[in-house]
Amino acid sequence: KVVNNFGPDTWRRMIYQERMRRVDDRIFTAFDFPDCGQVRAKRPVSTTPLQALNLMNSDFVVDQSKYLAERAWREAGASKPTLSGAVNRTFELLLSRQPDRQEFSAALEVSSMQGLEIVCRALINSNEFAYIP
């Protein structure tokens, strides 16, 4: 039986995920998820534009970006948070560092025009966030 386990109690980074045979998963399909009915010694490596677009527009990333932006605003300052404080806090939460001058300027401009959620989505899709060195 296929169970929709998308919810706050299942949100976490993972190494392994339970996978049901013959059930299409929109996110993993873009990443050339192997067919569970076939055996392969080694998976080929692939990177396609669909992978980035899928992550950028997935319901999960959109939802998490909203939650992250709300948290960054809450934790941005003492009594009156500012956009610059929220941008700095977003970098701290996602990348564990402060933005450099160019990153800060670009993030501040985008978030003032489009909202902090867009900056969160971009950072979640950055190589620095996605790959562990």
CA distances in angstroms from 38 to 22, 41, 46, 132, listed in the order given: 12, 10, 18, 29
Q: What is the mean pLDDT of residues 19-31?
A: 60
Distance from C-alpha of 11 to C-alpha of 58, rounded to nearest angstrom = 14
Res 61: pLDDT: 87
Res 21: pLDDT: 60
Distance from C-alpha of 99 to C-alpha of 47, rounded to nearest angstrom = 27
Give yes or no for residue 2 having a pLDDT over 60: no
15: phi then psi, degrees, rounded to nearest 5: -100, -40
Res 26: pLDDT: 59
Residue 84's pLDDT band (cuts 50, 70, 90)? very high
The predicted-structure confidence for 37-81, as pLDDT tens digits, reads as follows: 666 677 666 667 777 777 788 888 899 999 999 999 999 876 778
- Number of CB atoms found within 10 A of residue 36's CB: 11
